[in-house]
Structure 1
Amino acid sequence: MREALIHLAHSEAKMANIIASVSLSEPQSSGDVYYDLLNSIVSQQLSTQVAVVIFNRFLKLFPGEYPHPRQLLALETEELRAVGLSRGKAQYMQNVAEFWLAENLETKNWDEMDDDAIVDYLSQIKGVGRWTVEMILIFTLQRPDVFPVDDLGVQQAMMLAYGLEKDRNLRKRMIEIAESWRPYRSTASRALWRWKHQVKK
């Protein structure tokens, strides 16, 4: 990550200031795409604290607290709803389990696919959108050059740091600014999230 921070510190002035003002640790990951997809679905539109409580309740439904695909598919929707999941999220999580079994992904080597191919592939699952897969790329697979342009936190941070307006040109301007961050846009995004959190305190 040191190489990424050095590159970003020399990419342009505003990102240099952001890098200087935040502390980023080396990201840790289980590398478990299936598990993290389920966790991401639970987290959608919920505060972090509430999402953690519901996901932990969900895990307790399974032996060893791991939701193996066949075990997840064996549960009734009402059993999933009883731990705090909405009907939609319960279905989306079972969609992930169904896809995992159908595609035989237990031993999938994700290194064989580039970022865009993974986005297209996993977005086939109903309930899994581009943003969710981008989070998997950044945090689970630790791909170095992912730029989640539709992420609200990244948008808000860049509006604040770069004086951008929330209009139809926002995404275009964000992508233009982020060009100088290549090939470390994942680290830049993490820095923006951290910086925004610090500024809003």
Structure 2
Amino acid sequence: MSRLRYNRKQAVAALKSSCPQMARLIRTKGPFRLQVRKGSDLFTSLASSIAYQQLSGKAAATIYGRFEALFENNRPVASDAVNLSVQTLRSVGLSNNKALAILDLAEHACSGSLPSARTMAKLDDEAVVNSLCRVRGIGPWTVQMHLIFALGRPDVMPATDLGIQKGVQVTYQLPELPKPDVVLETTRHLAPYRSVASWYLWRAADSE
């Protein structure tokens, strides 16, 4: 069962009616197929986002697959991850900083200092970002990925993401790669469905 916090068809229809450029992009790229991470806990979701930081999807998927293989049934568990060494994590392709970030994340998860799923459900997006950015190596982008792909929040625009910036440049025919503040201003009118717009903007960047 989808954990999206919005109706797919309603969101796409709203974007098409509010923005001709987005309507054209949607027609080109087809149905909205964002996949929500099902059955993953907070540790697993954030560990995945850490692995994907500043890497192409294919390279990150390979490294994260090796990370998963360190665990029974390929299911990362914080209580097991906390006992791994930096060297072991680096051996699967993670950088030193990412290895340290995942270990710190595991320690937070084991100590109970991460917010529960019930607590996060009551928090707005900004509060979720603030609560999770206390963990080493986790910044707004990492939490935004969690908001979009794990919590299914509808209105997230990861303006610092290079793919999003490229997608905005292509979609709105900008002369140069936009900075984060320009991305936010250019896509402001796409609220309250900027997560859906983000998915399409990534597709636009992929076509370049």
TM-score after normalising by structure 1: 0.88
Partner residue in 1 for 2:198: 189
Shift of the alpha carbon at 1:158?
1.2
Match status 1:17 vs 2:24: yes
Shift of the alpha carbon at 1:56?
1.9
Partner residue in 2 for 1:156: 166
User: 1 CA distance for matches of 2:58 and 2:186?
Assistant: 33
Shift of the alpha carbon at 1:149?
1.2
Partner residue in 2 for 1:91: 100
Stretches of structure 2 that go unaligned for 5 or more consecutive residues are 1-7
Asked if the contact 1:8–1:188 (Cα under 8 Å) also holds between the matched residues in 2, the reply is yes
The residue type paired with residue 79 of structure 1 is T
Partner residue in 2 for 1:58: 67
Shift of the alpha carbon at 1:176?
2.6
The residue type paired with residue 135 of structure 2 is I
User: 1 CA distance for matches of 2:9 and 2:112?
Assistant: 37
Compared with structure 1, are the counterparts of its residues 107 and 132 closer, same or farther at alpha carbon in structure 2 (3 Å cutoff)?
closer
Match status 1:71 vs 2:96: no
Asked if the contact 1:22–1:194 (Cα under 8 Å) also holds between the matched residues in 2, the reply is yes
TM-score after normalising by structure 2: 0.86
Compared with structure 1, are the counterparts of its residues 71 and 19 closer, same or farther at alpha carbon in structure 2 (3 Å cutoff)?
same
Shift of the alpha carbon at 1:107?
4.7
Q: Deviations over 1:169-198 (max 9, x none)?
A: 743333233222111010011111112223
Asked if the contact 2:156–2:195 (Cα under 8 Å) also holds between the matched residues in 1, the reply is yes
Q: Deviations over 1:92-123 (max 9, x none)?
A: 10111111122354853121111000111111
Shift of the alpha carbon at 1:150?
1.1
User: 1 CA distance for matches of 2:145 and 2:79?
Assistant: 25
Compared with structure 1, are the counterparts of its residues 83 and 174 closer, same or farther at alpha carbon in structure 2 (3 Å cutoff)?
closer
Match status 1:29 vs 2:24: no
Asked if the contact 1:164–1:170 (Cα under 8 Å) also holds between the matched residues in 2, the reply is no
What percent identity do the matched residue pairs reach? 35
Shift of the alpha carbon at 1:165?
4.5
Match status 1:133 vs 2:120: no
Given candidates 146, 151, 154, the residue that maps to 1:144 is 154
Asked if the contact 1:58–1:80 (Cα under 8 Å) also holds between the matched residues in 2, the reply is yes
Q: How many residues align?
A: 198
Tell me whether 58-67 or 9-18 shows the greater mean CA deviation: 58-67
Partner residue in 1 for 2:3: none
User: 2 CA distance for matches of 1:170 and 1:45?
Assistant: 16
Match status 1:81 vs 2:90: yes
Stretches of structure 1 that go unaligned for 5 or more consecutive residues are none
Q: Deviations over 1:145-179 (max 9, x none)?
A: 11111111111111122233548x74333323322
Given candidates 11, 18, 35, the residue that maps to 1:4 is 11
